[in-house]
Structure 1
């Protein structure tokens, strides 16, 4: 398309509120990021050798009805189409599945700081471009270095995605009025569920009937590059910097958004107050709990369906996608109802965050445990996992956007702090489950699911005690002042006195400079 054509296209787009353009592009951003994040959970089942099960132990293993010959499942290095299979045990697979989160954790806080300094647009865009290119290069890395090559390229992918969440939280703080935040949070961060739906399902289709696993990485990485091109042209960091936004929308956002980044230059991040903030720390714990359960589902549920319930690869892709369809739909239901209740003043923002944190943590924990006791009943297990993920949809009306409530000015840094620490769960859970389930028995998986239950419920209780939905004093000292008993020095940068001091001689009334 020519430059004139792009200008005509953008002029037409201008009649659409630009915050909704950002929301839709954000949805596709999160969808792309999660397809690239979770696709290994499917492909690894076709990249590794499998040991044939010689005995079905009633109550501990499920019967395999797929009629795969033993020659296809012997524990030796095989080829899948023209590709080599690798002899990686469960612990190694767990280590590889966790590799993404090593890089993801490392770049969260730097990503939030970069977003606050340079804007969310390029922090998100360039981060996902790095992940997209690394995804395309994954087959090359595996062929070159095996498990080490795969681990390395997945760490790089994680480093690219690390800044995405804090940068989007900052973008929402700049673009979404408080009464619309739950809805926009669900729209953008709900894109993760689109990725979790499309990733396993499309992967299953690409891998079915002997499909080459490299195609999965080429498809999802290529889509990420295409998204980056549109993002670069259509989206901007703030309403005031957007060249195509209408005057009406710009004025509306200026009047309804309190983030100081729209009105004045921010002071340095108040780390000494931020690190002493109880509402921020319990938000971290709530995010750890949610991510512990969520990452267990997105990383290991395909393995549970494939290795325990014995679904074939195409069925595994479909069954793995169904829970996220439920989560995506319910995220909008919960978000709309939460915003409605806040507008009607039926409950405060803080109470709404606590209600939906409970909905997205303790309720799913119960369904996960029930699923672990469903044994080999495939229908019951899948239904319970779907119910569990449906209630996790409340996460986007609570923990995911709470950083914008307590610190709209420093939302990028706070979100990076919260999500960066919480993402450590993504490092721990795949490896821990690999250790807890070496034989892939129902009993071993039940222990893993009880661990998830304990973390989800425990962190939820702590958040309900100390969580908050109010802007914290350290986010705007000019507005709130210092709390009584604050003994840790000023948070704001002191403005140096640049005026020359005038010295009057004792017997002379003419002023003299001290220079």
Structure 2
């Protein structure tokens, strides 16, 4: 019966769906390749975002007579601060149009646009600085680059939500966000090395080389990444089936278009907890990225090379522990442990353990360099548990509205990124021991308070309003495919629709000549007209049912 109700090619492909689970940790896995490419995009953005802080030490260098002395600027501290802040202001502005642009352009194209903006800005920076020497123009460039950077997290989160089943989302988010730590760590270390070269005084090479790296990556990104698994040219039927079905019923959240319930999202307790943790994570991360080199220089009198190594080490460690936490979390979920319990436990580690070791670093005597650095490294290692914590909640609380939730969370993250340099800079204005201790205490307090909020309101399940309805009130309905333990496929029946058709047909027969009804079914953008009733249809399509009466 099913074969007569749908195209034979579709029915045969559904009937022959394999039940094997394709492994994630292999380069043959297209979803693993996609996660690596999203992470690589994060690395490229991290290089172009973080490099300015380390390069600024060389850009404003004074007192050194060289043949290229005109390549150094005389920007004062306030002008430098404005340049740094402008990037995060641009990222803050990007929060507002990111959801609209993600839907309009697609996540892949939106991230491509963001890359293009940052590549052009990076390449222009040394030329504008050298020939015009205007910090205002450099600030404008950094603001535009920050605007592009602001699209990265929302676009990447949407891609993760579409490419991975719930049992792999924590791992996928870890792979994705690990790129940020790699980008920060590599940028700090490599920028310090490039600035010591004698070619054009070193620092202009930083922006040109990072821009070229971004351009090369953009080409790879364009040809290898797809917005959805079914649009990929490289994915196998086995992997596509696993992503879209797995061994459980999976609603087609991304294929049913519904208005975004803005008030439900904004007032939801879990979303508020996500925003709080997003604020904390960005506040602490930006504070350490911005001021850890300065702290090492003041407290331990480190030179540029050693400072680059010690400042980057916590982030190198973090990229390892991030993957470790995520893999363990997903393994625990696969063992049937409640997702909310795993999410809350992970977030507790990130919030409270990190806060404890930051306080420990503050209490350690100023001269104990190794002990302080070890405390900061452990704190950043525990910080990685945010990935299977609130970061996973972003893509699970309401999969259909991930773009808006991610953008809304980024609003708080960008506010924190803008405030962190200002607040910590004010606290440590005189660089005394007590001021630096106060700065560390402030970071720990932010982590602890937001951690408590997540323990109260956060969770790892999907909200009812975030799921796709199996029978929508509008003319759009969705179906799902259940793959049973024995590998056999069962397709849900659209009983209500069929019952209505049968009832209408009987009434029409009793009252007179039957008027033909037509159901239009959209298969991945192609319209097929099937008269009569619809049942046993494929999983990965949008079913837009329209009843028409023909004259």
TM range (shorter): 0.7 to 0.9
Q: Separation in 2 of the partners of 1:230 and 1:95?
A: 34
Q: 1:173 and 2:173 equivalent?
A: no
CA offsets, 1:385-409, max 9 Å, x none? Answer: 1111111111211122211110111
CA, structure 1 residues 269+79, in 2 after alignment: closer, same or farther (shift >3 Å)? farther
Q: Separation in 2 of the partners of 1:329 and 1:274?
A: 33
Q: Separation in 2 of the partners of 1:362 and 1:95?
A: 33
Match of 1:304 in 2: 295
> Which of 34, 46, 49 pairs up with 1:34?
46
What SS class does the counterpart of residue 398 from structure 1 fall into? helix
CA, structure 1 residues 39+106, in 2 after alignment: closer, same or farther (shift >3 Å)? same
- Map 1:203-214 → 2, pairs under 5 A: 203-208=191-196, 211-214=201-204
Q: Contact conserved, 2:229 with 2:235, CA < 8 A, in 1?
A: yes
Q: Contact conserved, 1:207 with 1:314, CA < 8 A, in 2?
A: no
- Map 1:175-214 → 2, pairs under 5 A: 175-208=163-196, 211-214=201-204
Q: Contact conserved, 1:208 with 1:313, CA < 8 A, in 2?
A: no
What SS class does the counterpart of residue 134 from structure 2 fall into? helix
- Map 1:457-496 → 2, pairs under 5 A: 457-476=448-467, 478=469
Match of 2:244 in 1: 254
Deviation at 1:438, TM superposition (A): 2.3
Q: Separation in 2 of the partners of 1:480 and 1:359?
A: 40
Q: Which runs of 5+ in 1 are unaligned?
A: 1-13, 51-70, 482-491, 496-508
Q: Separation in 2 of the partners of 1:135 and 1:259?
A: 42
Q: 1:100 and 2:87 equivalent?
A: yes
> Which of 110, 119, 122 pairs up with 1:135?
122
Q: Separation in 2 of the partners of 1:204 and 1:306?
A: 14
CA offsets, 1:288-322, max 9 Å, x none? Answer: 11211111112221222234432111111111110
What SS class does the counterpart of residue 302 from structure 2 fall into? coil
What SS class does the counterpart of residue 399 from structure 1 fall into? helix
What SS class does the counterpart of residue 469 from structure 2 fall into? helix
Q: Separation in 1 of the partners of 2:202 and 2:396?
A: 46
Q: Which runs of 5+ in 2 are unaligned?
A: 1-25, 477-511, 513-548
CA, structure 1 residues 280+80, in 2 after alignment: closer, same or farther (shift >3 Å)? farther
Deviation at 1:373, TM superposition (A): 3.4
CA, structure 1 residues 79+160, in 2 after alignment: closer, same or farther (shift >3 Å)? farther
Q: 1:24 and 2:36 equivalent?
A: yes
- Map 1:55-134 → 2, pairs under 5 A: 82-89=70-77, 91-134=78-121
Q: Contact conserved, 2:194 with 2:205, CA < 8 A, in 1?
A: yes
Q: Separation in 1 of the partners of 2:190 and 2:250?
A: 41
Q: 1:293 and 2:284 equivalent?
A: yes
CA offsets, 1:171-208, max 9 Å, x none? Answer: 01100111111111111111111101111010111123
CA, structure 1 residues 395+236, in 2 after alignment: closer, same or farther (shift >3 Å)? same
Q: Separation in 2 of the partners of 1:148 and 1:493?
A: 52
Match of 2:222 in 1: 232
Q: Contact conserved, 2:253 with 2:467, CA < 8 A, in 1?
A: no
Match of 1:275 in 2: 266
CA, structure 1 residues 285+480, in 2 after alignment: closer, same or farther (shift >3 Å)? farther
State which drifts further: 277-286 or 251-260: 251-260
Q: Contact conserved, 2:87 with 2:145, CA < 8 A, in 1?
A: yes
Q: Contact conserved, 1:121 with 1:236, CA < 8 A, in 2?
A: yes
CA offsets, 1:469-493, max 9 Å, x none? Answer: 1111221362699xxxxxxxxxx87
Match of 1:415 in 2: 406
Q: Contact conserved, 1:258 with 1:408, CA < 8 A, in 2?
A: no
Match of 2:482 in 1: none
Q: Separation in 2 of the partners of 1:357 and 1:480?
A: 35
- Higher CA-based Rg: 2
Q: Contact conserved, 1:299 with 1:430, CA < 8 A, in 2?
A: yes
What SS class does the counterpart of residue 461 from structure 1 fall into? helix
Q: Contact conserved, 1:290 with 1:360, CA < 8 A, in 2?
A: no
Q: Contact conserved, 1:49 with 1:87, CA < 8 A, in 2?
A: no
CA offsets, 1:343-367, max 9 Å, x none? Answer: 1123x21121211112112211222
- Map 1:139-150 → 2, pairs under 5 A: 139-143=126-130, 144-150=132-138
Q: Separation in 2 of the partners of 1:80 and 1:45?
A: 16
TM-score by length of 2: 0.76
Deviation at 1:325, TM superposition (A): 1.1
Higher RCO by CA contacts (8 Å cutoff, separation 6 or greater)? 1
CA, structure 1 residues 93+410, in 2 after alignment: closer, same or farther (shift >3 Å)? same
Match of 2:346 in 1: 356
Q: Separation in 2 of the partners of 1:422 and 1:93?
A: 22
